[in-house]
Amino acid sequence: MNVFDFPEARSIVVVGDIHGEFNKLVHKCCVRYKVRDALIVVAGDCGFGFERPGYYDYVYERHRRYLSSANCWLVMVRGNHDNPAYFNGPYRIRHERFMTLPDYAVLRACGHVVLCVGGAVSVDRMVRKNSPYYRPAEVVAPLERNVYWEDEPPVFDPGQLEALSEAYRIDTVITHTAPMICDRIVKLGLYSFSIDDDRLLADVEEERATMERLRVALLEHGHPLRYWCYGHFHQSWHYEIDGVLYNMLDIMEFVELPPGE
């Protein structure tokens, strides 16, 4: 079980997809809006994997001073446009104020206990796989530049869920995609991309069903869910369903969670 504590954080700010715009994100948070003492969580599609190995260490070194002076921590959930190797294995980014999160990581800050689960299905996956920049996993090094990763979907892990349920009470969930209860929203371009991808609609339905299994399992385990934040859909939507406030965040959109109890 991966548990990360941020006792100095005074707020939690969740951000929608950033697509590699780390410079823009840090400037917007730490300079433009003067966010201070905050745990900043990117809800997937961070952009890991499109640049050479070592690039993301350079990004951290460039922005470490801003993050430190603002007393902020930037942590990132896996999206479909992220190389999973940067999140769930020995290559995970682990800097003090700039880190990627393994799936089923738990964050504790500001009176909240937050579960983070990444992954989704790329609706443009056939375009990416037909790109001259795409290389299959079996012929590419783990961190080599790429434009698509086969192991992108979310995974429902009942074992991890059982273990964390014995130790923690989750009130907030941050994922990249959404459970089926948020069925008003469709990923832009889905049906046009499905013309050339006969498995796409079924795989997207399974993606959403995976998140729904997670939601139902959390409720069955008695977790006091109050907030669920996600990105992926490049739209903004905020709605309360059965006592849970769902926040779908557009690209680079922020939401600050109220203090926990």
Contacts of 254 (CB under 8 A, 6+ apart): 13, 14, 15, 16, 29, 33
Express each pLDDT in 32-74 by its tens digit. Answer: 889 999 999 999 999 999 999 899 999 999 999 999 999 999 9
C-beta of residue 73 within 8 angstroms of C-beta of residue 30: no
pLDDT tens digits for range 185-230: 667 788 888 898 999 999 999 999 999 999 999 999 999 999 999 9
Rounded (5°) CA angle 48-170-98: 30
Residue 52: C-alpha distances to residues 55, 87, 144, 145 (Å): 6, 16, 6, 6
Strand bridging mode 112-117 / 105-109: antiparallel
94 Cβ partners below 8 Å, 6+ apart? none
Domain limits of the chain? Answer: 3-257
- Those residues with Cβ within 8 angstroms of residue 220's Cβ, 6 or more apart along the chain or in another chain: none
Q: pTM here?
A: 0.96
Q: What is the pLDDT at residue 185?
A: 65
Q: With contact defined as beta carbons under 8 Å apart, do 170 and 228 qualify?
A: no
Pick the CATH number of 3-257 from 2.60.40, 3.40.50, 3.60.21, 4.10.280: 3.60.21
